């Protein structure tokens, strides 16, 4: 399939597919009430400088990606290619199947750039990327390839300033044998942005992946992550933090799959919601036949901070092998009034008490993140949002 | 306890003898195969029903025809609705004494031990054979207190006002395809009415038997517990082993008024050619409590999710679910609780065991409505996988619209620990005995919740189901 056919196929699927194709979740999905194609503002020009980048200067990012403009500061491991120049095999490998998901099809149709993060065998690398949607919707594919025995720690910051825009990023992560990676994605888009996230991986023997996401921004946030420990002794860990306010809507669907023997997968999700925000938290743990001595675990926790907030928690599990340890747990509750009373009796005011409790709630997940910049920016953004409501 | 091939064969032989036999019966009336408005009018006419019930049946039929087959769960596409007998009448009248039951039917229930169990453990008993209840009896002292325990057919004739008031209000025919099918074709089932403040101390029992090949059983059970009433109802079900599939699509409706307590226990042991598609639902009002204890051992495909709607302040709901899936079985079960009022609490405990290529699936919902403040709910699912071919799924749904609900869910799946087996085997138990001991221990909290007779029966059935595992045969 050449690029033209690939795009035409993606367009057709975007038009024809329903918003949710997974039969299991049809009742439990967040509806995006508009056609994303209407979000394209055809007025030309972009202004990446309009993004206020916290903590690190823009020059400190290895790459800054707008929908039509890319700045590369570290050409050794981060490169960008025009998607139309990719060979058909690479094009299809880098993408998620358009026929399976309406919004994967949307990104496939509109992602003009494909970003490559290549870490050669044995190398230990750090990288950071800023995705900035200012006026036009930003769609990109990211292919992360980590060689044998290599290590990568990647920070992605997703920002937007334009009203009613879209950021859609699709990840394909390949780890060769004994490679290790921590991929961090901080979503801090403005309150009018539609956020689309896709993630899938391919792990070699003994490879070790950690995928951390903080979903803080956006009006409608839709994530479809498939994290598979597919080779012997590989392990994958996903940490998700969702912090909603006002009328934000999150539809986070993460699958963790043990597909080979002696593998380990873990999904930790923490969602705290204020205002009338809503979150559908779908965690699906699958242990495939043959994945002997594997370990699979889902922890979902929800905290409701607003009268109109709502969390739908769906920690699903499918186990097709008996010599495994598969557990999942889920809990949703409000802030404990006794905790508030205790802290206020120590002279701490209400606002600070709320901050302490929310910070404490997220800490179990946050402390699993190794990247200090990710932790710092994420907590500052969450605390800012707590203060402003 | 048998620990050899011979022992396993003996257990299977016992199963065949005890439950899997088939008696030759001359039916008094059999409708033609398949479903149509004419068949429904025929059923209604045989039963001399009032017009309002026929209207309900026809509305159910029309909805059934248009309703889609559920896409989730097991494969229901192989059910041929035109190859099923929807009504088989084994006798012309329902008897209130065991002696009056026709001999050939009595033989069946004698083999199943029904009258003996009634004498020992129950306050009343009812037996349904294919489409009709053939025996119904309640102890005199309960009758004098106003307790009604009769077949639902009889209730339509004797207590039309109560039936008309509640029938289809808890499970409307529009609820799902199989509730619609039941509304159209229902026959038999139990009607229980417990007046205000009456406590029925011993359980009431019903036993359901499908005897004919290619037969459907569509009983309809309605339980009304008035304010402060207390009742426990226990049902058991078996069928012979045929090559073709049978269909069981029952509907159970429970209304528990203020401070009432209703406990509904099912030990489902259909043979492995039965599709068991049952809708069970209860409404619990102020401070009322409804408990479902649901043991699913038999059937080819079981889809059953007892539910409780907690409609008023302080109501409580609980579902204890056991599912055992052996070779070729799919047990898709669980529970649903809808918190619609403040200060309501609920609990779902699900324990499942899969062996051979059996699949167990927990599917459940906890829904907390916006106005349901101070809600507490806990869901626990534990699955045990006995061999490499077995599989388990867990699909819990938690929809929380209230901001002060506390909802907890825990689940685990795994195999029997080698250390546990080693320990038991070092004490002289064979591997089969050790496995059975661990499985029984795993299910013990639920077995304890059953009346004694059923608890013993459940353990026996589990042994029958688990034993063939290690010798790779089913008799």
pLDDT score recorded for residue B126: 72
Cβ proximity of B126 and B152 under 8 Å: no
How many C-beta atoms lie closer than 10 Å to residue B185's C-beta?
Answer: 25
Of B442, B263, B445, B418, which Cα lies nearest the Cα of B360?
A: B442
pLDDT score recorded for residue B338: 97
B300 or B404, greater pLDDT: B300
- Name residues whose C-beta falls within 8 Å of residue A250's C-beta, 6 or more positions apart in sequence: A30, A215, A221, A223, A242, A244, A271, A277, A278, A279, A280, A281
The percentage of chain A sitting over the pLDDT mark of 90, rounded to a whole number, equals 62
CA atoms within a 13 Å half-sphere pointing along the CA-CB vector of B232: 14
Report in angstroms the alpha-carbon separations of B9 from B321, B410, B418, B468.
Answer: 29, 38, 26, 8
C-alpha angle B416-B298-B322 in degrees, rounded to nearest 5: 50
pLDDT score recorded for residue B293: 92
Query: How far is residue A195 CA from its own chain's centroid?
Result: 10
Of A58, A86, A82, which Cα lies nearest the Cα of A71?
A: A58
* N-term to C-term CA, chain A: 48
Q: What count of CB pairs under 8 Å joins A to B?
A: 120
Q: Do B411 and A328 touch (CB under 8 A)?
A: yes
C-alpha angle B442-B445-B450 in degrees, rounded to nearest 5: 125
Q: Do B385 and A321 touch (CB under 8 A)?
A: yes
CB-closest option in B71, B391, B407 to A332: B407
Nearest Cα of chain A lies from the Cα of B391 at a distance, in angstroms, of: 4
pLDDT at A51 over 70: no
Beta-bridge partners for A287: A258, A319
Q: What's the token pair of residue A231?
A: 């080779």
- Name residues whose C-beta falls within 8 Å of residue B101's C-beta, 6 or more positions apart in sequence: B91, B95, B109, B127, B134, B135
CB-closest option in A312, A319, A334 to B413: A319
Measured CA to CA, the distance from residue B132 to residue B148 in angstroms comes to: 18
Q: Do B414 and A322 touch (CB under 8 A)?
A: yes
Q: Do B407 and A317 touch (CB under 8 A)?
A: no
Of A152-156, B99-103, B266-270, minimum mean pLDDT range:
B99-103
What residues of chain B lie within 8 A of the CB of A322, using their CB? 385-388, 390, 414-415
Mean of the per-residue pLDDT values of chain A = 89
Residue located via tokens 């042991």: B269
**pLDDT confidence tier of residue A40, bands split at 50, 70 and 90:** confident
Beta-bridge partners for B303: B277, B332
Q: What is the per-residue pLDDT across B230-259, written as a single tens digit (0 to 9) for each?
A: 999 988 876 666 666 789 999 999 999 999
Beta-bridge partners for B120: none
pLDDT score recorded for residue B386: 87
pTM listed for this prediction: 0.81
**pLDDT confidence tier of residue A49, bands split at 50, 70 and 90:** low
What residues of chain A lie within 8 A of the CB of B400, using their CB? 302, 304, 310-313, 332
Phi, psi of A218 (to 5 degrees): 95, 155
Cβ proximity of A138 and A168 under 8 Å: yes
Nearest Cα of chain A lies from the Cα of B385 at a distance, in angstroms, of: 5
Of B27, B56, B48, which Cα lies nearest the Cα of B186?
A: B56
| Average pLDDT of the residues in A274-296 | 93
For chain B, the residues whose C-beta falls within 8 A of a C-beta of chain A are 71-72, 383, 385-388, 390-415
Q: What is the per-residue pLDDT across A320-353, written as a single tens digit (0 to 9) for each?
A: 988 888 888 888 888 777 777 788 888 888 788 8
Q: Do A329 and B386 touch (CB under 8 A)?
A: no
Of A327-336, B283-292, B335-344, B464-473, minimum mean pLDDT range:
B464-473
Cβ proximity of B84 and B275 under 8 Å: no
| Average pLDDT of the residues in A343-370 | 89
What residues of chain B lie within 8 A of the CB of A304, using their CB? 400, 402-405
What residues of chain B lie within 8 A of the CB of A25, using their CB? none
Of A21-35, B93-107, B133-147, minimum mean pLDDT range:
B93-107
Measured CA to CA, the distance from residue B154 to residue B160 in angstroms comes to: 9
Of A85-89, B15-19, B173-177, minimum mean pLDDT range:
B15-19
Nearest Cα of chain A lies from the Cα of B353 at a distance, in angstroms, of: 11
Q: Which residue of A has its CA nearest to B359?
A: A320
Q: Which residue of B has its CA nearest to A335?
A: B404
Complex ipTM tops 0.85:
no
**pLDDT confidence tier of residue B453, bands split at 50, 70 and 90:** low
Cβ proximity of A354 and A335 under 8 Å: yes
Which three-class secondary structure state does DSSP give residue A24? helix
- Name residues whose C-beta falls within 8 Å of residue B242's C-beta, 6 or more positions apart in sequence: B22, B213, B214, B271, B273
Of A81-95, A364-378, B445-459, minimum mean pLDDT range:
B445-459
Which three-class secondary structure state does DSSP give residue A197? strand
Phi, psi of A227 (to 5 degrees): -115, 115
B218 or B25, greater pLDDT: B218
Beta-bridge partners for B347: B318, B378
Measured CA to CA, the distance from residue B81 to residue B216 in angstroms comes to: 10
What residues of chain A lie within 8 A of the CB of B401, using their CB? 310
| Average pLDDT of the residues in B133-162 | 86
What residues of chain A lie within 8 A of the CB of B402, using their CB? 304
Nearest Cα of chain B lies from the Cα of A308 at a distance, in angstroms, of: 7
For chain A, the residues whose C-beta falls within 8 A of a C-beta of chain B are 23-24, 27-28, 287, 289, 302, 304-334
pLDDT score recorded for residue B444: 80
Of A227-241, B231-245, B307-321, minimum mean pLDDT range:
B231-245
pLDDT score recorded for residue A274: 93
| Average pLDDT of the residues in B264-273 | 85
Q: What is the per-residue pLDDT across B361-379, written as a single tens digit (0 to 9) for each?
A: 999 999 999 899 999 999 9
**Count helices and strands in chain A by DSSP H and E runs:** 6, 19
Of B47, B11, B13, which Cα lies nearest the Cα of B29?
A: B47
**pLDDT confidence tier of residue B434, bands split at 50, 70 and 90:** confident
Where in chain A are the domains?
A: 3-334
CB-closest option in A23, A315, A317 to B413: A317
pLDDT score recorded for residue A154: 96
pLDDT score recorded for residue B242: 60
What residues of chain B lie within 8 A of the CB of A293, using their CB? none
Of A269-283, B240-254, B331-345, B439-453, minimum mean pLDDT range:
B439-453
Measured CA to CA, the distance from residue B134 to residue B114 in angstroms comes to: 12
Q: What's the token pair of residue A373?
A: 């910049």
Of A298-302, B9-13, B157-161, B209-213, minimum mean pLDDT range:
B9-13
pLDDT score recorded for residue B3: 40
Q: Do B415 and A324 touch (CB under 8 A)?
A: yes
pLDDT score recorded for residue B135: 67
Beta-bridge partners for A142: A115, A171
Q: What's the token pair of residue A69?
A: 């403009």
CB-closest option in A308, A316, A333 to B405: A333
Q: Which residue of A has its CA nearest to B365?
A: A314
pLDDT score recorded for residue B8: 47
What residues of chain B lie within 8 A of the CB of A311, using their CB? 398, 400
Q: Do A330 and B413 touch (CB under 8 A)?
A: no
**pLDDT confidence tier of residue A54, bands split at 50, 70 and 90:** very low
Nearest Cα of chain B lies from the Cα of A359 at a distance, in angstroms, of: 19
pLDDT at B1 over 50: no
pLDDT score recorded for residue A45: 47
B130 or A109, greater pLDDT: A109
pLDDT score recorded for residue B279: 97
Of A118-127, A187-196, A261-270, B389-398, minimum mean pLDDT range:
B389-398
What residues of chain B lie within 8 A of the CB of A316, using their CB? 393-396
pLDDT score recorded for residue A57: 53
What residues of chain B lie within 8 A of the CB of A261, using their CB? none
**pLDDT confidence tier of residue A388, bands split at 50, 70 and 90:** confident
**pLDDT confidence tier of residue A389, bands split at 50, 70 and 90:** low
Q: Do A332 and B405 touch (CB under 8 A)?
A: yes
A134 or B390, greater pLDDT: B390
What residues of chain A lie within 8 A of the CB of B394, using their CB? 315-318, 328
What residues of chain B lie within 8 A of the CB of A27, using their CB? 397
Q: Which residue of A has its CA nearest to B391?
A: A320
**pLDDT confidence tier of residue A259, bands split at 50, 70 and 90:** very high
Q: Do A311 and B385 touch (CB under 8 A)?
A: no
pLDDT at B111 over 50: yes
**pLDDT confidence tier of residue B147, bands split at 50, 70 and 90:** very high
Q: Tell me which of B403, B412, B421 to substitute to probe the interface with A (most A C-beta atoms closer than 10 Å).
A: B403
- Name residues whose C-beta falls within 8 Å of residue A218's C-beta, 6 or more positions apart in sequence: A167, A187, A189, A190, A191, A193, A194, A195, A248
Which three-class secondary structure state does DSSP give residue A222? strand
């Amino acid at each position: 399939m050449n690029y033209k056919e690939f795009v035409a196929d993606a367009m057709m699927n975007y038009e024809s597919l329903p918003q949710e194709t997974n039969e299991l979740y049809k009742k439990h999905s967040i509806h995006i009430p508009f056609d994303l194609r209407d979000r394209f503002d055809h007025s030309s020009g972009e202004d990446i400088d309009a993004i206020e980048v916290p903590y690190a200067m823009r020059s400190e990012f290895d790459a800054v990606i707008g929908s039509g403009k890319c700045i590369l500061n570290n050409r050794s491991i981060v490169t960008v290619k025009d998607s139309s120049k990719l060979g058909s095999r690479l094009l299809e490998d880098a993408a998620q199947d358009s026929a399976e998901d309406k919004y994967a099809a949307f990104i496939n149709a509109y992602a003009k750039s494909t970003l490559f993060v290549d870490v050669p065998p044995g190398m230990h690398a750090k990288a950071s990327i800023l995705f900035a949607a200012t006026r036009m919707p930003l769609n990109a594919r990211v292919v992360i390839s980590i060689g044998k025995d290599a290590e990568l720690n990647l920070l992605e910051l997703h920002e937007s300033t334009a009203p009613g825009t879209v950021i859609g990023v699709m990840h394909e992560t390949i780890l060769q044998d004994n490679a290790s990676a921590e991929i961090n994605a901080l979503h801090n888009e403005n309150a009018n942005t539609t956020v689309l996230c896709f993630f899938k991986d391919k792990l070699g023997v003994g490879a070790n992946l950690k995928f951390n996401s903080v979903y803080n921004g956006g009006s409608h946030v839709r994530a479809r992550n498939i994290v598979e420990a597919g080779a012997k002794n590989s392990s994958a860990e996903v940490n998700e933090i969702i912090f909603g306010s006002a009328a934000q809507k999150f539809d986070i669907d993460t699958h963790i799959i043990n597909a080979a023997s002696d593998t380990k997968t873990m999904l930790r999700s923490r969602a705290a919601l204020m205002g009338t925000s809503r979150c559908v938290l779908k965690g699906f743990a699958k242990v495939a036949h043959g994945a002997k001595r594997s370990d699979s675990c889902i922890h979902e926790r929800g905290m409701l901070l607003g009268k109109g907030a709502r969390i739908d928690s769906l920690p699903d599990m499918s186990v097709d092998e008996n010599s495994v340890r598969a557990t999942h747990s889920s809990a949703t509750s409000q802030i404990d009034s006794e905790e508030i009373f205790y802290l206020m009796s120590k002279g701490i005011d209400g606002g600070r008490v709320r901050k302490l409790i929310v910070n404490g709630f997220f800490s179990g997940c946050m402390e699993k993140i190794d990247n200090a910049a990710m932790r710092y920016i994420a907590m500052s953004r969450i605390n800012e949002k707590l203060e402003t409501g | 306890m048998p620990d050899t091939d011979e022992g396993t064969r003996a257990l299977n032989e016992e199963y065949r003898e005890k439950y899997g036999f088939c008696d030759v019966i001359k039916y008094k009336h059999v409708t033609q195969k398949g479903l149509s408005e004419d068949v429904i009018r025929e059923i209604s006419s045989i039963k001399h029903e009032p017009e309002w019930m026929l209207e309900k049946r026809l509305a159910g039929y029309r909805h059934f025809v248009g309703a889609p087959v559920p896409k989730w769960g097991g494969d229901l596409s192989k059910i041929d609705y035109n190859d099923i007998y929807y009504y088989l009448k084994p006798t012309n009248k329902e008897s209130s004494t065991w002696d009056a039951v026709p001999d050939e039917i009595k033989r069946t229930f004698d083999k199943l031990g029904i009258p003996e169990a009634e004498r020992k453990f129950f306050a009343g008993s009812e037996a349904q054979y294919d489409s009709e209840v053939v025996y119904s009896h309640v102890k005199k002292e309960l009758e004098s207190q106003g307790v009604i325990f009769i077949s639902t057919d009889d209730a339509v004739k004797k207590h039309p006002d109560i039936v008309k008031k509640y029938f289809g209000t808890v499970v409307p025919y529009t609820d799902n395809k199989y509730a619609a099918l039941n509304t159209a074709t229902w026959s038999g089932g139990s009607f229980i009415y417990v007046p205000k403040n009456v406590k029925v101390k011993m359980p009431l029992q019903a036993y359901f038997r499908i005897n004919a090949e290619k037969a459907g059983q569509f009983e309809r059970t309605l339980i009304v517990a008035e304010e402060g009433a207390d009742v426990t109802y226990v049902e058991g079900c078996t069928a012979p082993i045929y090559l073709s599939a049978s269909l069981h699509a029952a509907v159970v409706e429970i209304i528990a008024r203020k401070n009432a307590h209703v406990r509904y226990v099912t030990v489902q042991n259909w043979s492995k050619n039965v599709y068991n598609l049952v809708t069970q639902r209860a409404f619990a009002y102020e401070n009322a409590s409804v408990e479902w204890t649901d043991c699913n051992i038999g059937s080819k495909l079981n889809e059953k999710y007892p539910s409780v709607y907690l409609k008023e302040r302080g109501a409580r709901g609980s579902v204890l679910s056991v599912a055992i899936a052996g070779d070729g079985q799919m047990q898709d079960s669980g529970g649903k609780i809808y918190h619609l009022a403040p200060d309501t609490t609920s609990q779902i405990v699900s324990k499942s065991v899969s062996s051979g290529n059996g699949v167990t699936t927990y599917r459940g919902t906890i829904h907390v409505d916006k106005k349901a403040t101070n809600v507490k709910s806990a869901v626990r699912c534990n699955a045990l996988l006995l061999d490499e071919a077995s599989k388990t799924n867990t699909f819990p749904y938690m929809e929380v619209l209230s901001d002060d609900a506390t909802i907890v869910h825990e689940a685990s799946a795994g195999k029997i620990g080698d250390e546990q087996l080693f320990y038991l085997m070092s004490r002289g138990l064979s591997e089969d005995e050790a496995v059975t001991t661990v499985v029984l221990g795993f299910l013990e909290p639920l077995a304890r919740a059953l009346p004694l007779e059923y608890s013993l029966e459940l353990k026996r059935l589990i042994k029958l189901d688990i034993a063939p595992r290690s010798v790779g045969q089913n008799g």
